[in-house]
Chains A and B, each alone.
Chain A
Amino acid sequence: MISERTQAAIDRFKSKADGPLLEIEGIRKEFPGVVALDDVRLSLRRGTVHALMGENGAGKSTLMKIIAGIYTPERGTIRLRGDEVTLSGPLDALERGIAMIHQELALMPYMTVAENIWIRREPLNRLGLVDHAAMARRTRDLFARLNIAIDPLTEVRFLTVAQRQMVEIAKAVSYDSDVLIMDEPTSALTETEVAHLFAIIRDLKSRGIGIVYITHKMNELFEIADEFSVFRDGRYVGTHASNEVTRDDIIRMMVGRDITDMFPKEPADISDTILSVDGLSLDGVFHDISFDLRKGEILGLAGLVGSGRSNVAEALFGVTPATSGRIRIDGQAVRIASPADAMKHGMAFLTEDRKETGCFLPLSILENMQLAMLQDQNVRLGFVEQRAVNRQCAEMRETLRVKTPSMDERIENLSGGNQQKVLIARWLLTRPRILILDEPTRGIDVGAKAEIHRLISRLAGQGVAVIMISSELPEVLGMSDRIMVMHEGHMTGILDRAEADQVKIMELAAR
Chain B
Amino acid sequence: MDNVQIEPAARKARRLPADLGILMVLVGVALVFEIMGWIFQGQSFLMNPQRLTIMILQVSVVGIIAIGVTQVIITGGIDLSSGSVVAMTAMVAMSFAQAAGYDRAVYPSLTGLPVLVPLAIGLGLGLLAGIVNGQLIARTGIPPFIATLGMMVTARGFAKWYTKGQPISFPTDGFAAIGNGALPVFIFLGVAVIFHILLKYTRYGKFTYAIGANAQAARVSGINVQRHLVKVYALAGLLSGLAGVVTAARAETAQAGMGMMYELDAIAAAVIGGTSLSGGRGKIFGTVIGTLILGLMMSGFTFLRVDAYYQEIVKGVIIVAAVVADTYRQKGRGKAGI
Footprint of B on A, CB under 8 Å?
A: 31-36, 56-62, 233-234, 317, 319, 338-340, 342-343, 349, 351, 356-364, 367, 370-372, 374-375, 379, 382-384, 386, 405-406, 408-410, 412-415, 426
Contact = CB atoms under 8 A, between A and B. Distances in A.
Contacts of A371: 206, 210, 218, 221, 223
Contact of B332 (A31, A338, A379, A383): A31
Interface stretch (B6-14, B29-37, B92-100, B134-142): B6-14
A375 B221 contact: yes
Interface in B23-50: none
Interface string B311-338: 0000000000000000000001111111
A432 to B, nearest CB: 12
Given A367-B210, A375-B222, A31 B3 contact: yes
A119 to B, nearest CB: 25
Interface string B265-304: 0000000000010011100000000000000000000000
Contacts of B214: 356-357, 359-361
A36 B210 contact: no
Interface stretch (B64-72, B107-115, B197-205, B249-257): B197-205
B264 interface: no
B217 A340 contact: no
The list of the 6 closest CB pairs from A to B, nearest first, reads A364-B336, A360-B213, A33-B11, A362-B280, A234-B4, A340-B222
A34 B333 CA distance: 12
8 contacts: A60-B2, A349-B220, A360-B210, A362-B281, A364-B336, A372-B221, A379-B202, A382-B202
B334 A374 contact: no
Given A32-B334, A339-B221, A405-B11, A360 B6 contact: no
A61 B216 contact: no
Contacts of A60: 2
Contact of A384 (B10, B201, B281, B335): B201
Interface residues of B, number: 41
Contacts of B216: 356-357
A426 B221 contact: yes
Contacts of A386: 201
Contacts of A61: 1-2
B170 interface: no
Nearest to B10: A33
A357 B214 CA distance: 7
A379 B335 contact: no
Contacts of A382: 202-204
A384 B334 CA distance: 25
Given A362-B276, A372-B222, A409-B335, 8 more contacts: A31-B332, A32-B333, A34-B4, A60-B2, A234-B2, A359-B217, A363-B209, A415-B3
Contacts of A32: 10-11, 14, 332-334
Which of A32, A339, A405 has the most chain B CB atoms closer than 10 A to its own CB? A32
A57 B222 contact: no
A489 to B, nearest CB: 22
Nearest to B204: A382
A404 to B, nearest CB: 8
B282 to A, nearest CB: 10
Interface of B: 1-8, 10-11, 14, 201-204, 206-207, 209-210, 213-214, 216-224, 276, 279-281, 332-338
Contacts of B213: 360-363
Contacts of B337: 362
A406 B338 CA distance: 14
A413 B279 CA distance: 18
A62 B1 CA distance: 7
A371 B213 CA distance: 12
A387 to B, nearest CB: 11
Nearest to B9: A33
Contacts of A406: 335
Contacts of B14: 32-33
Nearest to A411: B336
Contacts of A383: 201-203
A296 B264 CA distance: 57
B203 A379 contact: yes
Contact of A233 (B4, B10, B223, B332): B4
A413 B11 CA distance: 13
A84 B3 CA distance: 28
Contacts of A359: 214, 217
Contact of B2 (A384, A405, A415): A415
B271 to A, nearest CB: 16
Contacts of A415: 2-3
Contacts of B1: 31, 36, 61-62, 412-413
B3 A57 contact: yes
B263 to A, nearest CB: 24
A431 B224 CA distance: 20
A236 to B, nearest CB: 13
A242 to B, nearest CB: 23
Contacts of B202: 379, 382-384
Nearest to A407: B336
B206 A367 contact: yes
Nearest to A405: B6
Contacts of B201: 383-384, 386
A202 to B, nearest CB: 29
B277 to A, nearest CB: 12
A351 B221 CA distance: 10
B206 A374 contact: yes
Contact of A340 (B4, B5, B224, B281): B224
B4 A58 contact: yes
Which of A34, A349, A405, A414 has the most chain B CB atoms closer than 10 A to its own CB? A34
Nearest to B332: A32
Contacts of A356: 214, 216-217
B2 A56 contact: yes
